[in-house]
Structure 1
């Protein structure tokens, strides 16, 4: 077994409160820690489904003086999250105003049932049904 482990994925977010609500309330992650760096004028907030000691998490970086939303680079792909009932999950997310960019259904060239949503900053998140 490798001594290496994925620790986190960092996303720059424009509105930290909106992003925290999305990842914690709508996607069910826990707020693990949050630190404000007054001298650097930024906040780091870590969210995830488990503790950082044994699971990969997401680092939300909020630069206080960012005047415009970030432009997402063409190299970014997506974050993938496993869900037990993709159709029910998408109904709940839609009712909460989440943007569903690909309705749930089987992959074009396979049988895995997936959907895509976007967070408040436009980052793509793939939902994969895992029964």
Structure 2
């Protein structure tokens, strides 16, 4: 088995595509529209779906916001330097919700960013990827 994608519902598809591509540097891989069931999908990622997991942005026509609830956590991205990435994201108009620094009770360097719909994205410094310590 292989993880294929994670789906999140978005209230403004174009705004979300711009965030994931222009702010986080992903590529828009493909889009599709279903007129019968009134939704549009956009798949974004750093590589093709055949190579790695991607994010499916789902826009249900006419729905502009969602209650994120308390069960969902975050998407995690490995980056070379968390502090530098935060500055790049801030410069591109992104919202940093936790500045770069060590995870509570550990040494893993992390930060958090928020997408246009309020979904959290954790940035984990590359030497710490796979250690499972970014759960703050």
Measured against the shorter chain, the TM-score band is over 0.9
State the match for 2:28 in structure 1. Answer: 31
Following the alignment from structure 2 to structure 1, what is the Cα–Cα distance between the partners of residues 124 and 16?
21
> Could you list the runs of 5+ residues in structure 1 that have no partner in the other structure?
none
> Could you list the runs of 5+ residues in structure 2 that have no partner in the other structure?
128-136
State the match for 2:5 in structure 1. Answer: 8
Please say if 1:127 is aligned against 2:129. no
Number of equivalent positions: 127
- Give TM-score, length-normalised by structure 2: 0.89
Following the alignment from structure 1 to structure 2, what is the Cα–Cα distance between the partners of residues 60 and 121?
11
Query: Which among 93, 111, 114 is matched to residue 115 of structure 1?
Result: 111
State the match for 2:40 in structure 1. Answer: 43
Following the alignment from structure 1 to structure 2, what is the Cα–Cα distance between the partners of residues 63 and 17?
13
> CA-to-partner distance for each residue in 1:1-53, whole Å, 9 max, x for gaps?
xxx11111000000001100010111111111100111111101101111111
Following the alignment from structure 1 to structure 2, what is the Cα–Cα distance between the partners of residues 82 and 96?
19
Give the 4+ runs in structure 1 shifted more than 6 A: none
